[in-house]
């Protein structure tokens, strides 16, 4: 059997386009109205931005291998959002400070994850799961009197509003494209990225080739934390409010987005633009299911089945018998 080879990110994007076009035929789809279609497409991509950014850190830790995963991302998103919210207090000139705090706190939590994983040999799955509980605990301690704050107008303008009244491209999408480019630079055009892939494939080889495995691993988890922090910062700019459960719903979809984007869950191979494609596909499917007006039970089953089909197409692992 000749294997037709198509890279997963491309497959995901093609799938997204096909699904989107098909959705035009749904009772509540865009029908023949091109304006509605564009509005819907833009909206889906805009919604995918937040999932996509939160999945960026996830992409890095998954590439770093050894069952790398970050289950604390959801809690970190919430914590960063809360910190941003209370720091900014509606003032534009505090925004940069809030961003730095989000990144730093995220990085610190990620660093602690990294310490446990690299030095104490705790499996990433349970280490970050435990850390998720710890961070949620912190949020409850901080939040029990509830928090007061406000998002600054500049954040709303830069994140939640379109580029200009005439160009209806949401700023969030522009930010995402720039962000995607930076992620590409990091992964494909930096020594760190090359070392990251290396430790994802084989840590002994990496070490014997001069890669500082410990430092790279620590850096990956710290960076993933910082990116989750950035996700929280963006998210609060969009929602305008914070609440304890803000980030958690993004956690497992972020892993799914990475997998759908073709990154090997076993590490060493993958791309961020695959994750971007994955985030768009997942958001699209969720939106489609919304439009289709089915009971929740059927929707969940359809979502599960779609995911299964997608990973069956290109998520197959090598067989023992070739």
Partner 1 sequence: MKRFSWDEMMNRYPAFFAIILLVVALIINFILQPNMFARDTLNSNMRVFLPMILLAAGQAIVILGGGIDISVGGIVSIVNTILATQVGLNGSPEKMWTFVLVSLGAGILAGAINGFFIAFLRLQPIITTYATSFLYVGFALFILPNPGGGIPAEIANVYRNTTPLGLPLAFYVIAVVLLIWMYIRSTRFGNYLYAVGGNAEAAYETAVPVTWVLFSTYVVSGFMAALAGIAITMLSGSGNAEIGVPMTLTSITAVVIGGTALSGGIGGVAGPVVGAITLGIIQNIISFSRIDTWWETFVKASIIVVALAAPGVINLLRRKKV
Partner 2 sequence: MSVSLSARNIVKRYGGVVALSDGNLDVHSGEVVALIGANGSGKSTMSKVINGVVVLDGGQLLLDDKPVRFSSPQAARKMGIATVFQELSLVSKMTVADNIWLTREPLKSSGMIDRKLMWEKTEALLDLFSGTFKADLKPATLVSALHPDEKQIVEILKAISLNPRILILDEATASLDSRQVERLFELVKRWKAEGKAIVFVSHRMEEIFRIADRYSVLRNGKTVGQGDIKDITEKDLIQLMTEKEKVFQFTKAASGEDTSGLDHPIYLEVENLTTETLRGISLKVRQGELLGIGGLQGQGQRDLLLALFGDIPYEGKIRIKGEVVRFKHPRQAMRKKLALVPGDRAKEGLLYIRSILDNFLLPSWQNYGFPLKMKLAKRDALTISERLSLVMAGLMAPVSSLSGGNAQKVVIGKWLLRDPDCYLLDDPTKGVDVNTKAEFYGLLTELSQQGKSILFYSSDDDELIGLCDRVIVLHDGKIRAELQGASLTKENLIAASMGVSNGGEA
Partner 3 sequence: GTPATPTTETQATQPPQTGQQPTQPPVESKGPPFTIGISNPFISSEYRTQMIASLIEINKEYMAKGLTTELVIESADTDVAGQIQQLQNLMAKGVDAILVNPSDVNGLNATLQEAVSKGIIVISVDQELNVPGVYNVGIDQKEWAKTSAKWLAEKLGGKGSIVLIEGFPGHPANVARMEGVDEVLSQYPDIKVLAKDTGKWDEATGQQVMSNFLAAYPNLDGYWTQDGMAIGALQAVIAANPAKFPVGVGEGRCQFLKLWEEVLKDRPDFETIAVANPPGVSPTGLRIAVNMLLGKQVDKSKLGGVNGLSFVIPVPIIVTKDNLQQGLEICKDKPDAYLLDGIMTDQEVLNTFFLK
Ligand X SMILES: Nc1ncnc2c1ncn2[C@@H]1O[C@H](COP(=O)(O)OP(=O)(O)OP(=O)(O)O)[C@@H](O)[C@H]1O
Q: Which of 32, 146, 191, 297 binds partner 1 (CB under 8 A)?
A: 297
Q: Which of 206, 224, 251, 276 binds partner 2 (CB under 8 A)?
A: 206
Q: Are 279 and 258 in contact (CB under 8 A)?
A: no
What does 231-295 look like in DSSP terms, one character per residue?
A: HHHHHHHHHSS--TTSSGGGHHHHHHHHHHTT--TTSS---HHHHHHHHHHHHHHHHHHHHHT--
Closest contact distance (angstroms) between CB of 289 and partner 3 is 8
Q: Using CB under 8 A, which of the segments 23-31, 59-67, 94-102, 192-200 binds partner 3?
A: 23-31
Total residues contacting partner 1 by CB under 8 A comes to 52
Short-list 82, 44, 56, 71, CA closest to 246: 82
Q: What would the two tokens of residue 62 be?
A: 């998954």
The rounded Cα 147 to chain-centroid distance in angstroms is 26
- Pairwise CA distance, residues 232 & 107, whole Å: 13
Please state the length of the chain.
322
Q: What would the two tokens of residue 291 be?
A: 């439009």
Residue 4 contacts partner 2 per CB under 8 A: no
110 to 139: interface string for ligand X, x by CB under 6 A: --------x---------------------
Closest contact distance (angstroms) between CB of 320 and partner 2 is 8
Q: How many helices (H) and strands (E) does the chain have?
A: 13, 0
Q: Using CB under 8 A, which of the segments 90-98, 99-107, 209-217, 255-263 binds partner 1?
A: 255-263
Residue 165 contacts partner 2 per CB under 8 A: no
Q: Are 276 and 181 in contact (CB under 8 A)?
A: no
Residue 195 contacts partner 2 per CB under 8 A: yes
Give the SS3 label for residue 120. Answer: coil
Give the CA distances from residue 295 to residues 188, 292, 308, in Å, rounded to whole numbers and listed in that order. Answer: 44, 9, 20
Judged by CB under 8 A, the chain residues 77 through 116 that form the site for partner 3 are 85
Give the SS3 label for residue 62. Answer: helix
Q: Using CB under 8 A, which of the segments 14-22, 91-99, 221-229, 285-293 binds partner 3?
A: 285-293
* Residue 242 interacting entry, from partner 3, partner 1, ligand X, none, C-beta within 5 to 8 Å by type: partner 3
Q: Which of 149, 193, 200, 267 binds partner 3 (CB under 8 A)?
A: 149
Residues engaged in binding partner 1 (CB under 8 A): 67, 69, 71, 116, 119-123, 125-127, 129-134, 136-138, 140-141, 144, 252, 255-256, 259, 265-266, 295-305, 307-308, 311-312, 315-321
Residues in touch with partner 3 (CB under 8 A): 28-30, 36, 39-40, 42-44, 46-47, 50, 85, 136, 140, 143-150, 160-161, 170, 235, 238-246, 248-253, 286-287, 290-291, 293, 295-296, 299-300, 303
């Amino acid at each position: 059997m000749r294997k037709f080879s198509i890279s997963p990110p491309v497959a995901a994007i093609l799938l997204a386009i096909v699904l989107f076009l098909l959705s035009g035929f749904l009772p509540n789809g865009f029908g023949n109205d091109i304006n509605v279609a564009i509005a819907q497409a833009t909206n889906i991509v805009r919604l995918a931005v937040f999932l996509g950014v939160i999945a960026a850190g996830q992409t890095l830790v998954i590439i770093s291998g050894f069952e790398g995963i970050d289950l604390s991302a959801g809690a970190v998103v919430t914590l960063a959002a809360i910190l941003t919210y209370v720091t900014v207090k509606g003032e534009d000139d505090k925004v940069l400070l809030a961003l730095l705090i989000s990144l730093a706190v995220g990085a610190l939590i990620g660093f602690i994850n990294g310490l446990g994983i690299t030095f104490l040999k705790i499996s990433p799955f349970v280490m970050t799961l435990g850390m998720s509980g710890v961070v949620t605990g912190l949020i409850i301690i901080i939040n029990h009197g509830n928090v007061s704050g406000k998002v600054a107008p500049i954040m709303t303008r830069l994140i939640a509003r379109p580029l200009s009244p005439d160009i209806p491209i949401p700023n969030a999408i522009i930010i995402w494209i720039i962000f995607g480019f930076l992620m590409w630079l990091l992964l494909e055009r930096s020594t760190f990225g090359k070392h990251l892939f290396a430790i994802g494939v084989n840590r002994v080889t990496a070490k014997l080739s001069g890669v500082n495995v410990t430092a790279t691993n620590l850096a990956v988890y710290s960076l993933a934390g910082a990116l989750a922090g950035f996700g929280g910062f963006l998210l609060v700019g969009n929602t305008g409010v914070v609440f304890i459960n803000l980030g958690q719903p993004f956690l497992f979809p972020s892993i799914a987005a990475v997998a759908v984007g073709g990154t090997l869950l076993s590490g060493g191979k993958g791309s961020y633009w695959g994750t971007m494609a994955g985030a768009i596909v997942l958001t699209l499917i969720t939106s489609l299911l919304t439009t289709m007006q089915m009971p929740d039970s059927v929707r969940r089953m359809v979502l599960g089945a779609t995911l299964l089909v997608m990973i069956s197409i290109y998520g197959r692992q090598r067989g023992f018998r070739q």
